[in-house]
Structure 1
């Protein structure tokens, strides 16, 4: 009998390894397909079969999977990376195996199209405009009124997202997006949106079921870098129901009837307003928080769905789980970072992960790449979990050596440029 293989197209820093480990635990043989397999160090660590292939080329992926099918029983194909998820859906359709609807994924990943479809369905969203050039951005902001959120219509991880509170900030960020500094995977299209103010939440959804609602906290604007996420969010029954209802109302509007979704919401003066629908599993550490809080392993249940098995979303735990991100506070070179072992020894801490090592360059981007690690903790109460996190994070320290200035580099005997 041929070995059952799970094809993993690309990966992510946070969830790539858990997908590999879960596949192995389920008795599957994971095979990674990537344009650059070396970027995922966990593949070598886990001894995962990895194949280099252009993952932006559907025909190349079909050829590679067809070759693999001569040796393996391909039980499923999936990914934890949003940018290739529509391609994964097309592969699944080609090989007639369970997977997401690629057309639904594509229209959801274009945030302008997503906004249009949600608005047509009557889902509460921020007021918005789409712009193709600087003049459009300026006129859109004038119509909506400052402050506004300005962001690429296609992208993830808060890349290129900024709150613009003045004409100068608007012009600066527009120039950043349209004058070559931001990397576009598609023709430039900018969303200008009303700034929906209020507490941030997100719903983790599998199929048509809200598995959990978390509270999200960010570093101060103008950027939106995650600082902390907590599951379950501290909500009344009525608030929970309203967020769940508005989250589920997005699914038929966007044609998302299969698999995992993550729906971001702000609780504003008019109640819950949908900020964004992500047509894939939430990034790390949310799957771990769901597992700690409820005993539901979303990655395992997603893979079961991928290979044609029935997922089990029954809750078996009742805890409060939270993750705190360690965010770089300056640019330069990481001189040292320590205290991870002390943090891990704090009772209630379940994971401490550092993403960088000493001597690594630190260049803040105002998005998820500013995070240099995270700490996860769980306990029976919100107050206790927060106290555990505070103690653990306080035991981790680092130093970032500033980059030399032009004057310092030009001094005799100064650092080389």
Structure 2
């Protein structure tokens, strides 16, 4: 009689996973994907696709608990801001590995995050909640201008506006409301993006990049540089600060992307995301550190050692493609080194200006190397070859 070998692979559930399905396949695990609905191309690549209303936590738990009873799961995780609380909730309810629910909720709720950090002695901007958006103006007066008005939950940078006047605050409320808001005093100083991995409560900072932001209330990201330009001592200070912040938030099993402002009085935490960074920052971090943060997120969830490759560059010059005015974007990719350019729009698509409250970047030019002058020259050559232009939209 022929006996079939039992499937001894680890089993993991991922809440929404286009960024991570390929990684799970390479890790050779039994994969369960929860989505609403599960895209057909991804459903064909996982072992168990589940179409679940991701806003119905009871239904998600019931479906996953049934699977867990028939074939135990080792972990539940997500690499998407909106689904981190659900993934951590499911992990806690099923008793599997996953990011601590306290940390997931703090990353989703900026007011909760600041309360935990301030209570743990980690510097955050002076702030006031505005559960009713109508209270934002009074909060701004009490804190003193300029302030940053942001949505209290989710949204990332697109839910945040810098306000220099009382009129700016009213406009921000109109754009961001009617959701509960957070008003905080604007922090002066250069900004840094810190990438880190936390396994079993131990955090390792794998990269610190100088972050550039654009003009206007949106303060959209416009680029990054590595090395950061900080001295060894200052980098160590920022790394220790972020490590402390993640411990206070309860991080145990996750990767993270943290934004820090460096003031004359030391670091101030702007935001923590319990996921790999967006854009091309994940690829940049892998080139510079040898660590694929999306793969690391899955490996940490599963309790595996993080895979470490060999870094292939010592410097990166990363610039977002933006426009000073709205209109239709045109460009030419002929003859351009394809890996260096990522564009989110097709030729002729409408784009907003970088200082528009709803604007931001619509592409990235990223070049790597070892020599700063060569890097700048290569970036300039790519940018000029792109022949980027934005023409007024007269329609």
TM-score (structure 2 length as normaliser)? 0.85
Q: Which residue of 2 aligns with 1:103?
A: 102
Deviation digits for residues 113-170 of structure 1 (CA, Å, limit 9, x no counterpart): 2112222222222211112335522222122221111111112331231111112111
Q: Which residue of 2 aligns with 1:414?
A: none
Q: Equivalent residue of 2:60, what SS?
A: helix
Q: Equivalent residue of 1:55, what SS?
A: coil
Higher mean displacement: 278-287 or 104-113: 278-287
Q: Which residue of 1 aligns with 2:261?
A: 266
Q: Which residue of 2 aligns with 1:297?
A: 292
User: Quick one: distance in 2 between partners of 1:393 and 1:34?
Assistant: 38
Q: Which residue of 2 aligns with 1:183?
A: none
User: Quick one: distance in 1 between partners of 2:240 and 2:142?
Assistant: 30
Q: Equivalent residue of 1:296, what SS?
A: coil
Q: Equivalent residue of 1:371, what SS?
A: coil
Unaligned stretches of 5+ residues in structure 2:
1-5
Which of the numbers 206, 209, 218 marks the counterpart of 2:197?
206
Which of the numbers 345, 367, 371 marks the counterpart of 1:356?
345
Q: Per the alignment, do residues 357 and 232 of structure 1 end up closer, same or farther by CA in structure 2, a change over 3 Å counting?
A: same
8 Å contact from structure 2 (residues 89, 101) kept in 1: yes
TM-score (structure 1 length as normaliser)? 0.81
8 Å contact from structure 1 (residues 128, 192) kept in 2: yes
User: Quick one: distance in 1 between partners of 2:373 and 2:185?
Assistant: 33
User: Quick one: distance in 2 between partners of 1:246 and 1:46?
Assistant: 41
Q: Which residue of 1 aligns with 2:219?
A: 224
Q: Which residue of 2 aligns with 1:48?
A: 45
Unaligned stretches of 5+ residues in structure 1:
181-187, 406-417
Matches within 5 A, 1:276-295: 276-295=271-290
User: Quick one: distance in 2 between partners of 1:94 and 1:373?
Assistant: 40
Q: Equivalent residue of 1:235, what SS?
A: coil
Higher mean displacement: 241-250 or 102-111: 102-111
Higher mean displacement: 213-222 or 94-103: 94-103
Which of the numbers 210, 232, 246 marks the counterpart of 1:215?
210
Residue 367 (structure 2) pairs with residue 377 (structure 1): yes
Which of the numbers 179, 182, 188 marks the counterpart of 1:197?
188
Give the number of equivalent residue pairs.
382
Higher mean displacement: 394-403 or 280-289: 394-403
User: Quick one: distance in 1 between partners of 2:197 and 2:328?
Assistant: 41
